[in-house]
Structure 1
């Protein structure tokens, strides 16, 4: 029984790999270029500690030099730590997601070595704010391409899938704790600027990454069966039907209600309009849900 399941999973993985299109690769490459720019031009110039694995790697390199007199390779250690985190979650996350994420990690390492050292500004506040902004954009692009920036993103997204809520604030607190240690051992001023960098980067990701944001959708239609059937072909969320009367023309109407992820909304609206061009649709943000809700798995 186990072997057929394994074969089925391998076939599904191969199918998901074929879903990687040229625009995914280009998007991940662009995101990696943004991430590398943040490290090369802002982080290294300002002697800041970046977020996640990049920051952890920087600390390991500093500590190895301070305590043991050993000069570790940033790129190699960064790659190894990402590989270790990947090994913890690879059975639970989709092969397409993991492939694009690891591509982002690899390209970021390469771009950091290739990009020239450019002095953008001497103002540490501008370095922290714009460095965090550019890094957040790079990570957000990778996430939009159904990948990630790797590192702690693996853990955050795995947690989000299991708990069905974002974990970016917890990641931010981990990063701040890491920077408190950096300030204690090295330089409190640079640690505080690094915290500002972290906050900006995290908030950019939280704003533009909509996979775990939920929306409620109310649909007023005269063709509820057609609309429901077509919706269930594109998403796998429950739909509740309410009968009512349109008070302006005193005609029978039906209201359909569902909750979906924000990134699915455009697909849902398109499906509704194809089934009933005259449907009235209301979309609102959902802060929290309790009960059974199917989160679409990562490919």
Structure 2
């Protein structure tokens, strides 16, 4: 378990570093804006620096904006996810302060695409290892644990505000390149992690009772057990069906590997869930 935490911490560090590189070497010099809280911090930094005598960095604002949602996650989600997510935010803020803002290319399109891709690789690998880069990912996790509410509307609203504000204040060309960045980063995150917000896992195992108990004690999800028989071995088994969010996939995979490495697991995207999704 200690080795797992070490690997997870290493991934979080690399993810934060890639995020900061994408920002300071591509997006910020080109005035192209990232998505979510990072883009909001970037926009606020530009506005506040212009109207006040102080230079308020993007890194500092990223940290400040994430403090309230981190406190919320600590109360509603759990310690492990919250701790690693906050470590990711702190490291990203540190790297944003450490890495100088400089132009790698004067081509705004290259900056928008490469900045988005590099930052998205950092976000994607962080999500894949059961943490987040803060901001809207934490809000999504909280909503998935408290109520089955889609986070897409919040992501769309915040990114729309960022894009329109950038266009109004700094020129509509910047807004259009921001959209290019958002598209590129979204595609990369989906390729690395998973496109679907909800996933259905079908787990075929002879250790169904132990798996059910551990999954239910770790995740806020109900499980349906279905009797099954392997046609090749003619052995009686059980199929566990559980619907999870994309943020819980790492924990589910870890539980299955620890309890029954020989289990057959099929993970599928889920379009919609009707009825009770969360466990009261």
1:55 has 2:35 as partner: no
Kept in 2, the 8 Å contact 1:43–1:49? The answer is yes
Q: Distance in 2 between matches of 1:245 and 1:71?
A: 65
Q: What is the TM-score normalised by the length of structure 2?
A: 0.77
Q: Give, in angstroms, the shift of residue 60 of structure 1.
A: 2.1
Q: Distance in 2 between matches of 1:265 and 1:80?
A: 33
Could you say what secondary structure the match of 1:21 adopts? helix
Per-residue Cα deviation, 1:188-226 (whole angstroms, up to 9, x for no partner): 10111012212322343344445953124274xxxx8x4
Q: Distance in 1 between matches of 2:124 and 2:58?
A: 23
| Structure 1 unaligned regions, length at least 5 | 1-17
The aligned residue for residue 200 of structure 2 is 215
Q: Distance in 2 between matches of 1:204 and 1:59?
A: 23
Kept in 2, the 8 Å contact 1:172–1:198? The answer is no
1:228 has 2:208 as partner: yes
Aligned alpha-carbon RMSD (Å): 3.6
Could you say what secondary structure the match of 1:288 adopts? coil
Change (3 A) 1:182 1:285: closer
| Structure 2 unaligned regions, length at least 5 | 217-221
Match for residue 124 of structure 1 among 97, 108, 120:
108
Change (3 A) 1:255 1:91: closer
Match for residue 167 of structure 1 among 130, 151, 157:
151
Kept in 1, the 8 Å contact 2:9–2:84? The answer is yes
Match for residue 102 of structure 1 among 80, 83, 86:
86
Q: Give, in angstroms, the shift of residue 129 of structure 1.
A: 1.6
1:42 has 2:22 as partner: no
The aligned residue for residue 192 of structure 1 is 176
The aligned residue for residue 76 of structure 2 is 92
Q: Distance in 1 between matches of 2:254 and 2:126?
A: 20
Q: Give, in angstroms, the shift of residue 105 of structure 1.
A: 1.5
Paired positions, count = 268
Match for residue 271 of structure 2 among 258, 263, 287:
287
The aligned residue for residue 6 of structure 1 is none
Q: Give, in angstroms, the shift of residue 67 of structure 1.
A: 3.6
The aligned residue for residue 10 of structure 2 is 26
Q: Give, in angstroms, the shift of residue 108 of structure 1.
A: 1.2
Per-residue Cα deviation, 1:83-126 (whole angstroms, up to 9, x for no partner): 23333443112222222122111211221232245543333222
Q: Give the number of the structure whose alpha-carbon radius of gyration is greater.
A: 1
Kept in 1, the 8 Å contact 2:113–2:181? The answer is yes
